[in-house]
Amino acid sequence: MIKFYYNTAPNPMKVALCLEEMGLPYEAIPLDTRKGEQHAPAYLKINPNAKAPSITDDGKPVFDSNGILLYLAEKTGQFKPKPADMGEAMSWMMFIASGIGPFSGQAVHFNRFAPAGNDYGKSRYTFEAQRHWHILNDHLAGRDWLAGNSYSVVDMAAWGWERIAAFVLGQEEFDKLTNVKRHLAAINARPAAARAEAIKDRHTFKQEMDEEAKNHMFRHLAR
């Protein structure tokens, strides 16, 4: 059975959606990053990068959310982009992994958690987050899915971040992304999305972003 190490951040949620869409049996194991559980030696053997999510499949570890999606698509043959769409699919999968995710995360960090006096960081990452989201929005104009004409793991990868795009960008900016909002609504209408969202009710995670949580999540503070 697959063991799924998760919390409710964007990257674990895309894997939750994938597991539910594929109907794969799995054990959900909470990883509370605000308590520092990602740094436990046993977990580092699964994911040396100390992040969520990770899975083990018959004891074999797979980490990095988009890597997990691609692994599961290859393993099951489900929601795998068609061969003719593979170049487009891989391009957008990597765009999400290297652009949407990191710049959205940094925009949240500098705007909500960094100490005062980081105007350069706020300006840079707010701009880059907006730029990446508008690229995604433009690509979705006149089309239902990110790669070809079929719903695939590429769309699941985007959904994980689309769920919190208003938090990243602010509601006014998010409202400009009409194609992203349509894409998000289409995935939210799928029964698997509701099941994935319900994973948050299985376990309780620390909510306070206190000094202890910051030291666990922002490791440069603990040096």
Residue-by-residue DSSP string for 31-61: --GGGTGGGSHHHHTT-TT--S-EEEETTEE
If asked whether residues 147 and 111 sit together in one domain, one would say: yes
Residue 100 and residue 87 in one domain: yes
Q: Are residues 170 and 206 in the same domain?
A: no
Confidence of residue 65 (pLDDT cuts 50, 70, 90): very high
Q: Which pLDDT band, with edges at 50, 70 and 90, does 92 fall under?
A: very high
* Distances from the Cα of 111 to the Cα of 123, 126, 220, angstroms: 9, 8, 18
CB atoms within 10 A of CB 75: 14
Domain count across the chain: 2
Whether residue 9 has pLDDT greater than 90? yes
Residues 27 and 69 both lie in one domain: yes
| Same-domain check for residues 70 and 87 | no
Non-local (6+) Cβ contacts of 196 within 8 A are 13, 16, 17, 19, 20
Q: Please indicate, yes or no, whether residues 164 and 202 belong to a single structural domain of this protein.
A: no
Q: What is the CATH number of the domain that holds 116?
A: 1.20.1050.10
- The reported pTM is 0.96
* One domain, residues 124 and 163: yes
Q: How far apart are CA 57 and CA 54, in angstroms?
A: 10
Instruction: Looking at the structure, tell me whether residues 141 and 52 fall in a common domain.
Output: no
Are 87 and 158 part of one and the same domain? yes
The helix/strand/coil state of 153 is helix
Residue 117, SS3 per DSSP: coil
Contacts of 63 (CB under 8 A, 6+ apart): 46, 47, 48, 49, 51, 53, 54, 55
Angle, helices 153-162 vs 86-95, to 10°: value is 20
Same domain, 118 and 171: yes
**CATH code (residue 66):** 3.40.30.10
Query: Quick one: which of 116, 4, 12 has its CA closest to 55?
Result: 4
Domain holding 35, by residue range, is 2-78+198-222
Same domain? For 115 and 68 the reply is no
As a residue count, the chain comes to 223
Is residue 96 located within the same domain as residue 180?
Answer: yes
CA distance 110 to 107: 5
Amino acid at 43: Y
Q: Which two tokens stand for residue 149?
A: 């004409």
What would the pLDDT profile of 21-59 be if each residue is shown by its tens digit?
Answer: 999 999 999 999 999 999 999 999 999 999 999 999 999
pLDDT average, residue stretch 162-191: 98
Mean predicted lDDT score pLDDT of the chain: 96
